[in-house]
Amino acid sequence: MSDTMLIDAEFVGEQNANLEADLRADFDHLGTQLERRGVDIDAIVKRIQAFHVAIPTWGVGTGGTRFARFPMSGEPRNIFERLEDCAVVQQLGRATPAVSPHIPWDRVDDVAALRRHAEALGLGFAAVNSNTFQDQPGQTHSYKYGSLTHTDSAVRAQAIAHNLECIAIGEQLGSTALTVWIADGSNFPGQQHFTRTLEHYLESMREIYARLPKGWRLLLEHKLYEPALYATVIADWGTSYVCAESLGPKAQCLVDLGHHAPTVNVEMIVARLVQLGKLGGFHFNDSKYGDDDLDTGAIDPFRIFLVFNELVDAEWQEVDGFDPAYMLDQSHNVTDPIESLIESAAAVQRALAQALLVDRDALTAAQETNDALGAARLLREATQIDVEPIVQMVRAGGGGAIDPITVYRASGYRKRQANARTAERTGHSGIV
Ligand code: RM4
Ligand code: MN
Ligand code: MN
């Protein structure tokens, strides 16, 4: 991290000092427990240290629902301030060194200055997200009836041009991926011709694909419904897969955990996409009903674990080209987003750590001998081990906070920002 410590480093150090002895004792105890299972705790620590999950720039603003947004005092007013808040998440949590920007919410006149600002804060840029689900002021054509799949080629051309602009901005920021989620779909039976809309999508995406810079990938994000309430063009992983396959090797599928019907088995989708060589990335969040964008692990931590169980399995199998881009995608309506993001990144780290504890040889043996209970036990046991000391040790070792939420609250950061960030927000970010 740079010199620009947004929370006094000495203060973080003092707070850590009070907890170090307890952490050491907990960590050593866990190390002994894991040793008994044949697991080297230091290897797990190394793996968690190397694991990063990107923060969405829109996630540090207060989110909202269809009904209202309740802004918080001291929330960031522009992308420069959003990056400061992202840097606090990284300073204390040490799991989130990159941010995933959203264009045009994060559009600036001087992209190089934005990159310098991020670098000074110790942040890099992950996948760029395009936005053709809203009309922007001064835009020639409306996306009311679609964007990349619109019936009118002029609207499609505008949406393609926007995605190309996102790539150009991403290149200047040092990003290497474009994530495309479109809101295109219909509200009434018969409103759109299913086949023609998908053909338009593929034609449009081909033009974007053709302009991907070297080393870039195109991440296709599917979503079951909303805002379209009858039919969504890219509604499921199957459609997404078919499109990614038809576009070419640089196109892959992105799985947003909240973008499926409530009973769908998401971990199996993950396994299928791994098997098909098309798993490009994730948007982590949690949900109970729909695309709720709640904090990762807040509702069903076992589901996140099961997703990571598939990912660790893929690593263990040494699946060729397996390299998903990990991001959070959440909307923080009732919490301080900085706290939610720190907690969520830790929930992702915990899921990975627990998945690493699964005895893969034993699991394979249980599966091959149809030992259903034995297999289930191996997974359950891994989730019953409290891996918190590992996550805390990774944070402490990286210069973060052992107890980041307590340190953040005690730092008075938000209060300071409430006094400093008094003027109106410029630019818009977040849903609503
Ligand atoms: C969508 C989708 C996209 C995100 C927008 C804000 O539901 O999850 O990834 O960019 O919301
Ligand atoms: Mn998403
Ligand atoms: Mn979503």
Q: How far is the CA of 93 from the centre of ligand 2 (A)?
A: 22
Q: Which residue, among 422, 394, 419, 392, has the nearest Cα to 407 in the 3D structure?
A: 392
Q: Is 260 in the pocket of ligand 1 (CB under 6 A)?
A: no
Residue whose token pair is 């993001």: 341
CA-closest residue to ligand 1 atom 3: 181
Q: Is 181 in the pocket of ligand 1 (CB under 6 A)?
A: yes
Contact 402, 20 (CB under 8 A): yes
d(CA 360, CA 375): 10
Instruction: Provide the 10 A C-beta neighbour count for residue 375.
Output: 18
Determine whether 138 is exposed, middle or buried from the number of CB atoms within 10 Å of its CB (0-12, 13-18, 19+). exposed
- Which ligand minimizes its atom distance to the CA of 430? 1
Q: How far is the CA of 275 from the centre of ligand 1 (A)?
A: 25
d(CA 210, CA 262): 36
Parallel, antiparallel or unpaired: strands 185-186 and 231-232:
antiparallel
CA-closest residue to ligand 1 atom 11: 431
**CB-facing half-sphere around the CA of 291: CA atoms within 13 A:** 21
- Atom of ligand 1 at shortest range from CA of 258: 8
Q: How far is the CA of 141 from the centre of ligand 3 (A)?
A: 24
d(CA 86, CA 429): 14
- Atom of ligand 1 at shortest range from CA of 226: 7
Q: Which residue, among 67, 55, 140, has the nearest Cα to 94 in the 3D structure?
A: 55
CA distances from 425 to 68, 72, 102, 428 (A): 17, 12, 16, 8
Q: How far is CA 228 from the centre of its chain?
A: 23
Q: Is 105 in the pocket of ligand 1 (CB under 6 A)?
A: no
Determine whether 124 is exposed, middle or buried from the number of CB atoms within 10 Å of its CB (0-12, 13-18, 19+). middle
- Which ligand minimizes its atom distance to the CA of 232? 1
User: What's phi and psi for 319, nearest 5 deg?
Assistant: -60, 130
pLDDT tens digits, the chain, 432 residues: what are they? 444 569 999 999 999 999 999 999 999 999 999 999 999 999 999 999 999 999 999 999 999 999 999 999 999 999 999 999 999 999 999 999 999 999 999 999 999 999 999 999 999 999 999 999 999 999 999 999 999 999 999 999 999 999 999 999 999 999 999 999 999 999 999 999 999 999 999 999 999 999 999 999 999 999 999 999 999 999 999 999 999 999 999 999 999 999 999 999 999 999 999 999 999 999 999 999 999 999 999 999 999 999 999 999 999 999 999 999 999 999 999 999 999 999 999 999 999 999 999 999 999 999 999 999 999 999 999 999 999 999 999 999 999 999 999 999 999 999 999 999 987 765 555 554
DSSP symbol at 230: S
d(CA 296, CA 283): 10
What pLDDT sits at residue 323? 97
Contacts of 38 (CB under 8 A, 6+ apart): 359
Contacts of 427 (CB under 8 A, 6+ apart): 77, 78, 79, 105, 106, 107
Q: Where are the alpha helices (DSSP H) in 37-144?
A: 41-50, 79-93, 111-120
The verdict on pTM exceeding 0.85 is yes
- Host H or E run for residue 378: helix 372-384
